[in-house]
Amino acid sequence: MTTLTEGAAHCPAAVSDPLLRATVRHSGPRCTALALVSMASTGANLSLPVALGRALDLLLARDPDGSRWVLWCAALVLAVAVLDAVETVLGGTTNARATAWLRHRLVRHALAVGPRALTRFGPGDLVARLVGNAAQAGTAPATAAALLAALAGPLGAVAALALIDPRLAAVFLIGAPLLALVLRALARDSSDCVTRYQRAQGRIAGGLAEAVAGHRTIVAAGTADRTVARVLRPLAELSDQGHRMWHVQGRAAARAATVAPLLQLAVVATAGVLLARQHLSVGELLAASRYAVLAAGVGVLVGQLSGLVRARTAAERLDEVRSEPPTTYGERALPPAGTGRLELRSVTVRRGGRTVLDRVDLVVPAGATVAVVGRSGAGKSLLAAVAGRLTDPDDGEVRLDGVPLPELDRRELRRAIVHAFERPALLGGSVEDTIAFGVVRPSPARIREAARAAHADGFVRRLPDGYATPCADAPLSGGEAQRLGLARAFARDSRLLVLDDALSSLDTLTEHDITDALLRPTTGGSRLLIAHRVTTAARADTVVWLEKGRVRAVGPHTELWRTADYRELFGSWAPVGTGRADAARDGTASRGVPGGEGR
């Protein structure tokens, strides 16, 4: 029977994948129980034909023991039914637990990698891998355990034929290589189409996530039909590969359906000849016919092998996520006397073969507010990410209070540097949970103080359940969502606050009031602001002007304003000598800085 198992051995190399091996080890006890139950069910199925044959022979001979053998047969049928039910439950729970373990492990890894994972895969494809592919890979332990029983059935049936009469086993084994070829072809042909199918799924998921994120732009531009067509463009390939998978399995099933009945017929015909020559009894003929069916029953093997092919291909896509190295951290702590001095030393960052930040040198003095301005694509948001170690530079070094960021302990780093973003993720079950997210031992008083500083307390109290309102049920505008993100940042004590365009959706008055709160001497720490508004830049202690990934100039806003190119950044051509009263009429006066806000 070795030739029959070659086809199975071609694919169950799937379990040689390191991730699948780890999943099988994690599910070890359940896999062992499932394998034992499956083997017990197979044993009961293998015992039933010989018991039926024996009972038939005894009944034909009018032997009183015939009734006892009939009871044995009934008991075996009942045992098969019970074991099959237990096997179904164990298989389902094993799949669920293995999938949950895989997702937990991979989500933790993706979070440890950080934004780099989204940069490589995109949010849609990454979610498709962590959800769909993890579920497919999670079936590997139960499938592998069941495959042992699926192999034991044909092997045991051939052995039983040999025990009844070696000539029956010999007749079957003559055609066994054909069945092995069927299984081998199935494993080989399935692998490629399953890989293409899952990749097409990932592309559709990526396009859908992108469309959902930009749904307002799509509606405003009237491009919904074109967007649907673009998102579903891989659907044709998905359909082709899906049909190809069915064709591969259909061909395998058809070939098996052609070969298996011929083998069964050959075994039964041989048994009939032996019966005619009185080498077999009627009961043994019955048992032999049943064992021929079990020995040729490759349909179960086809299903198990197809499942392992899908699991292996899914695991390969998960391995691509795991191949991204996680962000490593050191063990150092910040000096107790530090107050948030940030230094970027010759920082260079490349993306897609392009240098986005080129040898940037920047110092944010302790307790100071530094605004970073520049045209779109100048590298402002990337600089903010580097400053808070949301990404690491390809060259250069970033220090906080004299300590290189990679040498800091992870908790120390995340306590020391706090971010607020243009589109904050409102994490948490309620508005209060969202503001308290990441705060160690938050108190209601602290949460409300942070909300007041971000000018969020007023609209939060007007929500249906106030601070207990679930974020999903809170009708928030873009500016209100930004204020919740700012409140979350204000609720944490930090040495460096990085605002990545986190004031962009606020009205001018609210922005002015929040900036006042930021600049209070009691706030503590340093502030790095990615600014698009002239009012924000004007209120900073220092402005860093980025141009094409390089620092073009550093200085107070009043000095840089004398440069026409700098004024053009804000769409403003106001003369340098514009007075305070003129600026006030524009609603942009701040610290006596001339100029109007660009639109």
Supply the CATH number for residue 560's domain: 3.40.50.300
| Total domains in the fold of the chain | 2
CA count, 13 A, side-chain hemisphere, 336: 0
Q: Are residues 30 and 74 in the same domain?
A: yes
Q: Are residues 155 and 226 in the same domain?
A: yes
590 exposure class (CB count in 10 Å sphere: 0-12, 13-18, 19+): buried
Evaluate if residue 595 carries a pLDDT over 60: no
pLDDT digits (tens, 9 = 90+) for 413-449: 988 999 888 888 888 788 888 888 877 777 888 899 9
Look at residue 477 and tell me if it is in a domain.
Answer: no
Which pLDDT band holds residue 82 (cuts at 50, 70, 90)?
A: very high
Look at residue 468 and tell me if it is in a domain.
Answer: no
Average pLDDT over every residue of 569-580: 51
Of 297-301, 320-324, 483-487, minimum mean pLDDT range: 297-301
pTM: 0.70
Average pLDDT over every residue of 401-412: 92
Domain end (from 254, 287, 322)? 322
Q: Are residues 81 and 111 in the same domain?
A: yes
Q: Are residues 215 and 310 in the same domain?
A: yes
* Distinct helix (H) and strand (E) counts, the chain: 25, 10
Look at residue 330 and tell me if it is in a domain.
Answer: no
Which pLDDT band holds residue 126 (cuts at 50, 70, 90)?
A: confident
At 254 the pLDDT is 65
Look at residue 293 and tell me if it is in a domain.
Answer: yes
Average pLDDT over every residue of 492-521: 77
Evaluate if residue 516 carries a pLDDT over 80: no
Contact status, residue 169 vs residue 161, Cβ threshold 8 Å? yes
Look at residue 478 and tell me if it is in a domain.
Answer: no
Look at residue 597 and tell me if it is in a domain.
Answer: no
pLDDT digits (tens, 9 = 90+) for 328-343: 899 999 998 778 899 9
Average pLDDT over every residue of 228-241: 82
Q: Are residues 534 and 408 in the same domain?
A: yes
What are the angstrom distances between the C-alpha of 332 and each of 16, 128, 206, 400, 408? 39, 37, 39, 12, 5
Q: Are residues 283 and 397 in the same domain?
A: no
Q: Are residues 127 and 200 in the same domain?
A: yes
Look at residue 448 and tell me if it is in a domain.
Answer: no
The top-scoring range by mean pLDDT among 81-90, 421-430, 570-579 is: 81-90
pLDDT digits (tens, 9 = 90+) for 440-478: 777 888 899 988 888 888 888 988 888 898 887 877 887
Q: Are residues 119 and 75 in the same domain?
A: yes
The top-scoring range by mean pLDDT among 90-104, 105-119, 182-196, 569-583 is: 90-104
Q: Are residues 394 and 350 in the same domain?
A: yes
Look at residue 591 and tell me if it is in a domain.
Answer: no
At 179 the pLDDT is 65
Domain end (from 260, 288, 322)? 322
Domain range holding 270?
2-322
Evaluate if residue 599 carries a pLDDT over 60: no
Domain end (from 262, 288, 322)? 322
pLDDT digits (tens, 9 = 90+) for 3-55: 444 444 444 444 557 888 888 888 888 888 988 998 898 889 889 998 988 88
555 membership: H or E segment, kind and range: strand 550-555
Supply the CATH number for residue 231's domain: 1.20.1560.10
Higher per-residue pLDDT: 81 or 509: 81
Q: Are residues 143 and 205 in the same domain?
A: yes
Q: Are residues 271 and 203 in the same domain?
A: yes
Average pLDDT over every residue of 239-255: 72
Provide DSSP, 17-58.
SHHHHHHHHHTHHHHHHHHHHHHHHHHHHHHHHHHHHHHHHH
DSSP category for residue 591: T
Kindly report the average pLDDT of the chain as a whole number. Answer: 81
Q: Are residues 349 and 308 in the same domain?
A: no
